[in-house]
Structure 1
Amino acid sequence: MQKLDMTVIGGGLVGASIAWGLARSGILPLVLDGADLDFRASRANFGLVWVQRKGLHAPHYALWSDKSAKIWPMMAETLSEDSGIDVGLIQQGAFTFALSEEELESFRADMECVAAETAGRGPAFKVLNRSQTRHCVPQVGPDVVGSVYSPADGHVNALRLFHALHVAMQRRGVQYRPNHKVTSIQPVADGFVLQGGGFSILSRKIVLAAGLGNKRLAPMVGLVCPLTRSKGHVLVTEKCKPFVSCLSATIRQTDEGGIMIGDSEETDNSNIASSSAISAVLASRAIRILPDLQNLNVVRIWTGFRVKTADGVPIYDHSARHPGAFLVACHSGVTLAANHSLIVAPQIAASKLGEDLSLFSAGRFSC
């Protein structure tokens, strides 16, 4: 049986961010990952570094997201140094467009609520009427009645980020083993025995960063990870010259030229197949916001399942029953990547999560 000091279970954006951060802290973990065709949120995300309306009725989450957005430039620079890859970070603010006065009022109320609940420490924002929005984004269509703008929001090339994290962690000495799905975790006196198809590993400490798999693995080490099913669609157009002069939560032009359209959510569907009806709704709304999109062809459609906790707020936990077992679960793997690599990973390396993360414990679900 192979004996190790630290193992990260999961090699997606969250697991890779943690593993890279551990390596920067002097801990060289083994990363055990699943198969290519597993349900992976890392392959289906929208690439946003996003704070708008995050943490409604959860001010600690709003401030945590804002903190990560602020240190993202530091992470991007450090990751580029370690990997040689530019992840294409652009943080020039973003809009949430409203297609009715009711929508605009709802967006306003949410942002004002976050501001009040964080005592004014949340992200800055402006509510813009129709003419103000058109002044900022001349391409918007006549159906847009207004918007909310936040200067803190941005985006990255998500697939390049995923690649950069893997290159960086392995250059720093992290071992990565794909096709090593962990099926069993057994706590023992000197750590945890991890077993799967054809392998058995003894690890003194472990980090559960297995996305949807955390729900199954957490009880094996005295933790819980309640997740809700949340399926989303993403549409990608053919590449074109830059013409979308803004970023929104539902429309973004990548640095490679393609335009991504998304933001659907299905809670009762476990089928990975895309839906033409949902794709049509997404495309229709996008064209109402930016009419010029009707001149582009959609070349790809894919779906994915978010790693969404029961209340939408991340979980950070350290098992009291089996010390040495940590858990990280969230559906904001891009936004929170900076926090995970620069803040959470060093705390795990020191074997103690910070007091500020206690509010994110899954113990909140038993209250």
Structure 2
Amino acid sequence: MQRDFLIVGGGVVGMAVAYGLARAGQRVSVLDESDDALRASRGNAGLTWMQGKGAGMPRYGELSLDSCLAWPDFAAELAARTGVDIQHECHGGVDLCFDADEAEVRCNEYTALQGASPRLASDFRWQYLEREALLTHLPGLGESVHGGTWSPHDGHCNPLYLLRALYAACQMLGVEIRPATPVNEVRALGAGFSARTAMGSVAAERIVIAAGLGARTLAPVLGLSGAVRPVRGQMLITERRPIVPQLPTPQIRQTASGGYLIGDSHEDAGLDKGVTLEMLQVLAEKAVRIYPALRDARLVRAWGALRVMTPDGYPLYEESTLHPGAYNLNCHSGITLAALHAGALSQSLLDDRLGRDYPQFSGARFDVQAY
């Protein structure tokens, strides 16, 4: 039986779209790589985050806000379908500033963003709070932190539980999921598309490339952009500590199990997903600067992962003009945008309106840029 959609990539982006399409009654197949693949899903802190999104492209800020607002219902729906609690909380978040100059730049950026978008001017809520005012949100905050921007839209979840819930929900809806099945080649057929794997070819009426860094070789074959590159992020987690009512930050957050997840690095290291003592020391020192009580906490794990980044940092949502029915989805905010991907964006795919609904995010914008 030929499927309606073939999705190449079983990370958070691909599985959220698979879920949205299957929920709409589509027959979907997902081809995924092995567990040792260069997975961006390993390199995130599970933030559902509006802050910092949209400078230079206000539409990205609008989509991020839409997804953050949709996240509570999205998480509840997944839990009701699968019984998996993805530990989503949305009580607000804080993006820290370590000095007055950083604070001024941040506030000017957010003011300019709201000035460029009537939607964000009315709906994006934020406030700069100096350290003393932040203590109610971040008890134990270090004295050397200047302050930070607070927003009620930000939250966090357990990204591994999110992926588990998406897989479970997709299986319940009849999605065919083939793990450990890397795609070697994609082709446009007379009617539909096929993907060649070591276990044979899989065909479908339409195809979605959601393969992260794999898009560099797969997408151009179908007239889509392969302009993505790896950015390494290193992360640390501490031993379990007593739960403290602290809001999440991009620099550090306490997980539901009590460990502090630390990570805020962006490195051009090619395909090297290892860790370095130098960067781990930088991350640990920043964590102690934020929460001095962590000075005596034991670190139980460190790891690196390769995030996917486009030349301008914004998502790729595009349809092929050479081969109608082929689509390319890529972003580095797959957790934040998961609710959007499972909702409005999947509907755009179903209606074959991706290019019309998201024209700003086509890879054509890179044609005049050096990469």
Q: Structure 1: which 5+ residue stretches go unaligned?
A: none
Query: Any residues of structure 2 matched to 1:67-86 within 5 Å, and which?
Result: 67-86=66-85
Partner of 2:5: 6
Aligned residues: 366
Query: Any residues of structure 2 matched to 1:1-367 within 5 Å, and which?
Result: 3-119=2-118, 120-121=121-122, 123-243=124-244, 245-353=246-354, 355-367=356-368
Question: Offset at 1:135?
Answer: 4.5
Q: Is the 8 A contact 1:21 1:342 kept in 2?
A: yes
- Where 1:173 maps in the other structure, the secondary structure is coil
**TM-score with structure 2 length normalisation?**
0.95
Question: Offset at 1:122?
Answer: 5.5
- Where 1:273 maps in the other structure, the secondary structure is coil
Question: Offset at 1:351?
Answer: 2.7
Q: Is the 8 A contact 1:9 1:210 kept in 2?
A: yes
Distance 1:228 1:106 in 2: 27
Amino acid aligned to 1:162: L
Distance 1:129 1:147 in 2: 6
* Residues 328-347 of structure 1 deviation map (CA, whole Å, 9 limit, x = unaligned): 10000100000000111122
**TM-score with structure 1 length normalisation?**
0.96
Aligned residues: CA RMSD: 1.5
Task: Please identify, of 265-274 and 87-96, the stretch whose mean Cα deviation from structure 2 is larger.
Answer: 265-274
Pick closer, same or farther for the CA change 1:167–1:145 going to 2, 3 Å.
same
Distance 2:156 2:95 in 1: 14
Distance 2:245 2:277 in 1: 25
Amino acid aligned to 1:279: L
Q: Is the 8 A contact 1:114 1:122 kept in 2?
A: no
Q: Is the 8 A contact 1:63 1:122 kept in 2?
A: no
Task: Please identify, of 150-159 and 355-364, the stretch whose mean Cα deviation from structure 2 is larger.
Answer: 355-364
Q: Is the 8 A contact 1:28 1:173 kept in 2?
A: yes
4+ aligned runs moved over 4 Å, structure 1: none
Distance 1:219 1:356 in 2: 22
Distance 1:243 1:69 in 2: 24
Identity of aligned residues (%): 36
Distance 2:303 2:366 in 1: 32
* Residues 14-41 of structure 1 deviation map (CA, whole Å, 9 limit, x = unaligned): 0100101111010021100001100001
Distance 1:100 1:178 in 2: 47
* Residues 194-227 of structure 1 deviation map (CA, whole Å, 9 limit, x = unaligned): 1121311222211111111112111111111311
* Residues 240-283 of structure 1 deviation map (CA, whole Å, 9 limit, x = unaligned): 22025221111111111111000101013421211111011011
Question: Offset at 1:300?
Answer: 0.6
- Where 2:253 maps in the other structure, the secondary structure is strand
Distance 1:302 1:121 in 2: 40
- Where 1:165 maps in the other structure, the secondary structure is helix
Distance 1:284 1:230 in 2: 22
- Where 2:129 maps in the other structure, the secondary structure is strand
Q: Structure 2: which 5+ residue stretches go unaligned?
A: none
Q: Is the 8 A contact 2:232 2:268 kept in 1?
A: yes
Task: Please identify, of 225-234 and 14-23, the stretch whose mean Cα deviation from structure 2 is larger.
Answer: 225-234
Question: Offset at 1:228?
Answer: 2.8
Distance 2:289 2:334 in 1: 29
Task: Please identify, of 2-11 and 148-157, the stretch whose mean Cα deviation from structure 2 is larger.
Answer: 2-11
Q: Is the 8 A contact 1:53 1:114 kept in 2?
A: no
